[in-house]
Homo-oligomer: A and B are copies of this chain.
């Protein structure tokens, strides 16, 4: 689709989102629109319709199922704030329910998407409507296809299609971070490591070379490997090197001539993508082939930017390192410092008992609201 303003989707077919009810109610409304990756049209339509009804101060663009809404106030600085609209598959955990956490006694919203990341999107949508005159110009981005292969990302696609919309001085991604700031992210690389052998009938196994047996050397090295902890800009990033898939064999009576191991390497943002590739190729130098099948660089924390320092002060808690790869690295690749900030515990993302504390939705909203209303002030020390 074009980036020009298009007609609002028809109200008849579009679920209604009500931003005036606040971010907690919006969280419930967003979760209850099923939006598994690849099926984000309904929720993107709902978001676009809501903005067109309630936020006439925003210039709205659409790219596939990604919605981009910008203030154009001529402020000195611009902040991009993004969240993905999709979820992993539903597993009997929709519609969401209001519950009390049996351990903490907190009020929670339980169900798919509450953590990853409808609560974050709800905070953003409520602010997008409410902040008609923020202290900085804002670029709001709600995008599709985050929970699938990196090359399908709606954010990546929109950045390629419309680079002119993405200029900013700082970016915030609403990934769950317990309402604290998680700086940067580890990079991630997946490689297919292959061992070869020679087929033979298994009754005469000494005439062949067993490729699965050859994999034992690789797997032993992986099992023994202790991943590093790397401090980058004051935050500690913990790495990881793991076999995530293995496959080999021809038939029950054949010595196998091939074994394939898929490895996932999570690397600190102090390593470049090229350095990560080199490390993996050296680590598996005795394999018959090493093919890089997926590679996403990490992002440094970016907390040295003045805007970021003011945000840290507004949140009021110590920033930590983000370990999982997130789309902050897409902003980082455009030269835009970026952090993760959203309600919810990332350890519950994708879990069937995904649940978000109501208080975190409210505190995240309050911190962002305070910062965006006053971000021209000098940093609090």
Residues of A within 8 A of B (CB): 186, 188, 190, 201-207, 210, 212-217, 219-220, 222-223, 227, 238, 240, 242-256, 259, 261-262, 264, 266, 294, 323-325, 347, 349-350
**Chain B contacts for A207, CB-based, 8 A:** 347
| B244 and A204 form a contact (CB under 8 A) | no
Please, could you name 21 A-B residue pairs with CB atoms under 8 Å apart, sorted by A?
Answer: A188-B203, A201-B324, A202-B264, A203-B240, A203-B266, A204-B324, A205-B266, A210-B223, A212-B246, A213-B243, A217-B220, A217-B223, A244-B253, A244-B254, A244-B255, A245-B248, A245-B249, A246-B246, A246-B249, A249-B262, A252-B294
**Chain B contacts for A219, CB-based, 8 A:** 212-213, 215-216, 219
Shortest CB-to-CB span from A354 to chain B, Å, is: 13
Q: Contacts A203-B266, A203-B325: A246 and B248 contacting too (C-beta < 8 A)?
A: yes
Q: Contacts A201-B350, A252-B190, A264-B252: A206 and B238 contacting too (C-beta < 8 A)?
A: yes
| A323 and B210 form a contact (CB under 8 A) | no
Of the candidates B203, B223, B244, B261, the one whose C-beta lies within 8 Å of that of A323 is: B203
Closest to A204 in B: B323
| A246 and B204 form a contact (CB under 8 A) | no
Apart from A203-B325, A204-B240, A216-B220: 18 A-B pairs, beta carbons within 8 A: A190-B252, A201-B350, A202-B266, A203-B266, A204-B347, A205-B242, A206-B238, A210-B242, A210-B243, A212-B243, A213-B223, A215-B219, A216-B219, A217-B220, A243-B249, A244-B250, A246-B247, A252-B262
Task: Give Cα distance in the complex from A304 to B266, angstroms.
Answer: 65
Shortest CB-to-CB span from A70 to chain B, Å, is: 31
**Chain B contacts for A349, CB-based, 8 A:** 201
Task: Give Cα distance in the complex from A240 to B261, angstroms.
Answer: 25
| B252 and A245 form a contact (CB under 8 A) | yes
